[in-house]
Amino acid sequence: MILRKRTLFLMLIDAMLINLAAFGSFYLRLESFGEGAFLEYYHTYYVTAVIATILYIAVFHVFGLYNRLWQYASTGELLSIVYAVSVGTGGTVAAVYLYGLMNAATLTYIRMPHTAAVLLWLAMVFLIGGSRFIWRILQENTYDRHVPGTKKQVLIVGAGDAGVLAARELKNRNYRDGRPIGFIDDSHSKQKLQLLGIPVLGTRKDIVRIVNGYNIDEVIIAMPSASGDSVREIVEICEKVGVELKIMPGVYDIISGDMNVNPIRQIQVEDLLGRDPVCVDLEEVAGYVAGETVFITGAGGSIGSEICRQIARFNPGKLVLIGHGENSIFDIEQELRAEHPGIDYITEILDIKDRQKVDLIFRRYKPGVVFHAAAHKHVPLMERNPEEALKNNLIGSQNLAEAADKIRVKIFVSISTDKAVNPTSVMGATKRTVELLIQSLDRRSQTKFVAVRFGNVLGSSGSVIPTFKRQIAKGGPVTVTHPDMVRYFMTIPEAAQLVIQAGAMAKGGEIFILDMGKPVKIVDLAKDLIRLSGFEPDVDIKIQFTGIRPGEKLFEELLTAEEGITSTKHSRIFVAKPNVIDVKLLEELTHIVRERGSYLTRDEVIELLQTVIPTFRQKDTKIVANQ
């Protein structure tokens, strides 16, 4: 009822404006010919006004001009008005001409002057456009009230689209969170210009001067595409003058589907990494997931749960959540049911080492796609429990892969790690063995088996970030193993995107690798997190070096020496060349683990892994770490 009244009100206003435009166009055209000329064309004017009123309103309705919120009008709405007026004017001229032809026998002369038609078009664009955009003007000026008591002065770094969005967001909140005083931008062409009436005050080199000169309380970084080094530089500058720092959300928030985030938020350590995301080809993903029964092992974990969230967007026929921990599986199931209620969710609590149960659920649900994220990943823990790493990572993966082969699953994607390359840890060696296992199985199976290899994942349960945050909350010290320790990093959504995209690109037997950019020093990551928490490293919070742990390397690699890579159609994803695999050795290894698994000693585990990875532990661990 409200919408109907609003539409009728707008139509009534438009009818008056159309008649005003028609009268004005004829009057201006015929004024120079005297009063007699207007009277001569009066009947033509009258017919034009009637036809124009009916025709314009009908065209405006077809073009959807009555279904828009004009207080948010932009150039798109203006173009719609121009198109609608053009169609309406052309239709009016044609209708008047036809009316004259049909009544030529009784009427002396009916023809709309060409100049009057042009004037009608101009008048309509001006009047209809002005009547609509007046709502935008009122929204931005008449109702733009400054909330009493709001005194926070804000400086926005980045005078581009994101900067404008930040300024508008502050304005939309009636400046409750601060009033933008100016922009900072390194482009010389923008200096001394204004955006939304807000001046560009200088470049990043001028931040200290501007903050002090304008009494700035808060700086907002509005550069979503800026590199981590650029963001880090701005953070360090702002820390010198002691202002609060925030950032516009980047692409990670969009990829993760977190649409409830505030447009302006506190800066996070992920913003300093400068990681460009891996973007999914939506058509490819929808093509192989939609309507399929999809298995996700380790569905309650950091990566597994994010894969669940991403896959749920593509309408699988069934989504089977497999995990060993009942609480985490329950949590992700409840979340998915709330966010995507139209999907058939099935939960299976099982240990992937249980071959019979694995075979049972594969036969019961007959999946088309499997994402295998379940694994023991903690390096030091697996050094202390090497037989469990072998049993879970190798035997569990073999159970899943063989079950997939038996029922002819279409695609099986196994998640690996950069620690599988030239491994020095038991965990890394078991993951490398799994890579070899699925590659060997792919050669004799109708299922497409592939692996995805990537580095450390920020925010995951095993990441250093949660550990650092807990240590900072306790007042320190923050523990880092070695000052030269470096790692590749990516976000949880990015890791999930890579895994899903790999399934779409799979031909069978590939190991997909992400171009992860530059590795990051762990000590720099610790310092950044300390600063973002409002403290000074080694002053307020101490950094303590504890020494390299068993199985760790100073740096990680993405490729073995013999692999090499080939590019794919995805600019950030590469494929490692397949290795020569001794299937007999792999079969002997898995047979021994199945026979003696829990009774294997540490030395026996290492010897077994060396049969398939000859370079594993051939050097002293300390020597490897010190290279």
Q: Which helix (H) or strand (E) segment is 494 a member of?
A: helix 492-505
**Is 419 known to be catalytic?**
yes
Q: Would you state the torsion angle of the CA atoms of residues 97, 102, 107, 111, taken in this order, to the nearest 10 degrees?
A: 10
Active-site annotation holder among 419, 431, 448, 527: 419
Tokens of 59: 């065209």
Helix-strand-coil split of the chain, %, nearest 5: 50, 15, 35
In angstroms, the CA 88 to CA 55 distance is: 6
Q: Which helix (H) or strand (E) segment is 294 a member of?
A: strand 293-297
Tokens of 338: 């709330």
Q: Which helix (H) or strand (E) segment is 88 a member of?
A: helix 75-102
Q: Please choose, from the candidates 252, 249, 246, the residue with its C-alpha nearest in 3D space to the C-alpha of residue 234.
A: 246
Q: Please choose, from the candidates 296, 305, 301, 581, the residue with its C-alpha nearest in 3D space to the C-alpha of residue 435.
A: 581
Tokens of 281: 């080809």
**Residue 582 C-beta-side C-alpha neighbours within 13 Å:** 11
Strands (E), 546-617: 565-567, 573-576
* Distances in whole angstroms, Cα of residue 394 to Cα of each of 300, 425, 451, 576, 585: 20, 15, 14, 21, 14
Tokens of 517: 């950019």
Which residues does 62 contact at the CB level (< 8 Å), separation at least 6? 84
* Distances in whole angstroms, Cα of residue 604 to Cα of each of 104, 318, 426, 589, 617: 107, 42, 12, 11, 12
**Strands 344-349, 369-372: pairing kind:** unpaired
User: Residue ranges of the alpha helices (H) in 196-281?
Assistant: 207-213, 228-241, 251-255
Report the 10 Å Cβ neighbour count for 149.
Answer: 6
Report the 10 Å Cβ neighbour count for 405.
Answer: 18
State the sign of the Cα–Cα–Cα–Cα dihedral 480, 482, 483, 489: negative
CA angle 400, 403, 406 (to 5 degrees): 150
Q: Please choose, from the candidates 418, 440, 435, 413, the residue with its C-alpha nearest in 3D space to the C-alpha of residue 297.
A: 413
Q: Which residues are catalytic?
A: 419
